[in-house]
Structure 1
Amino acid sequence: MITKQDAVSILDDYLNRGRYGPYTGAEERVIDDELTLERDYGWLFTYNRAEYFRARDPHQSLVGNGPILVRRDDGAVIRFFSSYGGEEALAAYEGDPEKFPPADARS
């Protein structure tokens, strides 16, 4: 079992390695704590560029940055398409977790 702090570290490491979509690790990212959702099985995080949060300017927003689930039991990272909102992503995951395999942290 991991803690929320562990999950944040796992997510940060995952993003810093440029594993998810258009993000290359060159920009500061911020997790939106207000949109973080916790369930018994993990945490769903929403993140964006720090500049987006400073200016609230949609032109400063990342593109294609869907929510990311970090599972509590094993720290696995589950990516969702950007078309999913937080609750929608969790409902889809809860409906059929097998449809959402963990991302390969090594690739």
Structure 2
Amino acid sequence: MIDYNVALAKVNEHLGKSEMALQVTSCDEFPVGWLFYYQTKEYLETGDPSSLLAGNGPMLIDRETGDLLILVTYRPVEVQIEEYARRRGHAIGG
């Protein structure tokens, strides 16, 4: 079992591997774990739409295993989390 700070560190480590500076913008908590949204640091600092990421799916960190899963943007987040929870045997809800 991991806590929020470990989950955030895992996300930041993953984002740090990108060629562009990325930053967490928000986080939602679900029974299965935490869902982190992110954007380019340049867009967050300047608001310049040309710096905006498009199609970047949020990252789910499993609270039991610490596994990182990148969700897709073309399906509802809640559906993907429920499917993941069922596959992993987690309680479903959110």
Same fold per superposition (TM over 0.5): yes
How many residues in Structure 1 have an aligned counterpart in Structure 2? 88
Give structure 1 regions of 4+ aligned residues with deviation exceeding 3 angstroms. 98-101
Cα RMSD between the aligned structures?
2.3
Superposed, 1:82-93 pairs within 5 Å as 82-84=73-75, 88-93=76-81
Change in CA separation of 1:49 and 1:71 when aligned onto 2, cut-off 3 Å: same
**What is the alpha-carbon distance in structure 2 between the residues aligned to residue 99 and residue 64 of structure 1?**
25
2:87 is the alignment partner of 1:97: no
Give the structure-1-normalised TM-score.
Answer: 0.69
- Which amino acid is 1:7 matched to? A
Superposed, 1:1-107 pairs within 5 Å as 1-17=1-17, 25-33=18-26, 36-84=27-75, 88-94=76-82, 96-97=83-84
Q: Radius of gyration: which is bigger? A: 2
Give the structure-2-normalised TM-score.
Answer: 0.77
User: Identity across aligned pairs (percent)?
Assistant: 26
CA drift of 1:9 comes to: 0.9
Give yes or no for contact 2:15–2:23 (8 Å, CA) kept in 1.
Answer: no
Change in CA separation of 1:37 and 1:67 when aligned onto 2, cut-off 3 Å: same
> Structure 2 regions of 5+ residues with no counterpart?
89-94
> Structure 1 regions of 5+ residues with no counterpart?
18-24, 102-107
